[in-house]
A and B are shown apart, each in its own frame.
Chain A
Amino acid sequence: MSRSRSAVDPKRVSSELFSLTYGCMVAQLLKDFENPEEVNKQLDTMGYNIGVRLIDDFLAHTPSVTRCTTLEEVAEILCKQGFKMFLGIVPEVRNWSASKDKFSLVISENPLAEYVELPPHCQDTLWYSNIICGVIRGALEMVQMDVKCTFVGDTLRGNDSTEIEIKFVKILEDSLPAGED
């Protein structure tokens, strides 16, 4: 991740300010709700609200992307273009289920959690970057795909890798735009 502060594009905020802002937000949520499980839910909701708006931004800036017909296509575009565009990272896609309806995203360098250490009381319950799960869920819902998105491991919690599991639930038939069914 670039740390150069010279020749900064005035429209881009430094990634460290972003990490700081996110960190402050999680810390404040923990103070307000006290229960890490509740904070996980709040982060997911916030992420959902971001995702429903972010998807159009992504689609407007990548006109070459067309509707995905398989989960493999979704995974490919999500990692190689989506994550790249917004977080500057490209997660690895792993652990495909036999029926190809479930896969895992493995994030090697999480820009949100660069300088973070979890306090002992939420070491086993808080998913620090749970906002990402909400964003993916919200974004895919706007393209009529219902998915379940959860963290299954986080290096902040002492696991081997930061891993998000994405499971396909169904296509949302009733909100399909005309011509796409």
Chain B
Amino acid sequence: MIYSVYIINKAGGRIYDEDFAFNRQAEEVTFQSHPIPLVLTADTGKVLVKFGATGNVKPGHSIIAVDRQAVTGLYTAGDRAILDVINDPASYPLTLTFGRTKASANEKLMLASIFHSLFAIAAKISPIEQSSGIKELHTEKFTLRCFQTITGVKFFVIVDQKQTGCEHLLLRIYELYTDYVLKNPFYPIDMPIRCELFDQNLRKVIEQVERATAYNSATLS
């Protein structure tokens, strides 16, 4: 599964990012009555599960929809504070959708710059000359794979452990970038990418790769 794709320009600024598997992790739970078995906090601009669990909902999940309507920050679509709605017995039965909220644009910008710096540091601390930067970063839950072009643009994807063919995927994304972004005469170089054609074609490629991976794992098992 491909979670997201990021593109960083040569100065380290994020020029593109997209989440693909975002919606698939949403969990919808209907609570019949107050109180609910979860401890919620509203620290960081979103309502987070601090403690407690129900079904697949665990600490770390945040509320992304109330009664199937998407929320903005701490407020429902109807402009009521989410915590007020949850604490009001009259709201029940209440359907809450939990998931990971998308990082804000600023957070992503910061993460991209930090990754750019880490990439440079990795190249510098290499005991052997002329090392590349970070190519692969493994964690328990995901793998990050990065590709830097000779012109300094970095493409990286965040995928799960089962995903194969990332090298090929990164090259495909590079090709899409040269076609739909660079060949667009109205796109200023090194600026955030706002090209509809690039988005559409990237989605197609991601879907293709995911289908191929699903097919491969189905035939192997």
Please report A residues at the B interface, Cβ cutoff 8 Å: 52-53, 55-57, 59-61, 63, 65-67, 142-143, 175-180
Contact = CB atoms under 8 A, between A and B. Distances in A.
Contact of B179 (A57, A59, A66, A67): A57
A57 B152 CA distance: 14
B118 to A, nearest CB: 10
A179 B148 contact: yes
B133 A56 contact: no
What interface size band does chain B fall in?
20 to 34
B152 A60 contact: no
Contact of B131 (A53, A56, A66, A179): A179
A168 B177 CA distance: 29
A65 B182 CA distance: 20
A179 B123 CA distance: 5
A10 B179 CA distance: 17
B178 A178 contact: no
B171 interface: yes
Contacts of A63: 171
Contacts of B133: 178-179
A76 to B, nearest CB: 16
A59 B175 contact: no
A57 B55 CA distance: 49
21 contacts: A53-B182, A56-B153, A56-B182, A57-B182, A59-B151, A60-B149, A60-B174, A60-B178, A63-B171, A175-B10, A176-B152, A177-B151, A178-B119, A178-B120, A178-B122, A178-B123, A178-B133, A179-B119, A179-B132, A179-B148, A180-B130
Contact of B150 (A52, A53, A57, A59): A59
B171 A60 contact: yes
Contacts of A59: 149-151, 174, 178
B124 A178 contact: yes
A142 B151 contact: yes
- In the A-B complex, the 10 residue pairs with the smallest Cβ-Cβ separation, listed nearest first, are A179-B123, A178-B120, A177-B152, A57-B178, A53-B182, A178-B123, A60-B178, A56-B178, A60-B174, A60-B175
Nearest to B120: A178
Contacts of A175: 10, 152
B75 to A, nearest CB: 42
A86 to B, nearest CB: 13
B151 A143 contact: yes
Contacts of A55: 151
Given A53-B189, A56-B182, A178-B133, A143 B150 contact: yes
B183 interface: yes
Nearest to B149: A59
Interface in B171-188: 171, 174-175, 177-179, 182-183
Nearest to A65: B150
Contacts of B150: 59, 65-67, 143, 177, 180
A140 to B, nearest CB: 11
Contacts of A67: 150
Nearest to B119: A178
Interface string B135-176: 000000000000011111100000000000000000100110
Question: Which of B124, B132, B149, B153 has the most CB atoms of chain A within a 10 A radius of its CB?
Answer: B149
Interface string B71-89: 0000000000000000000
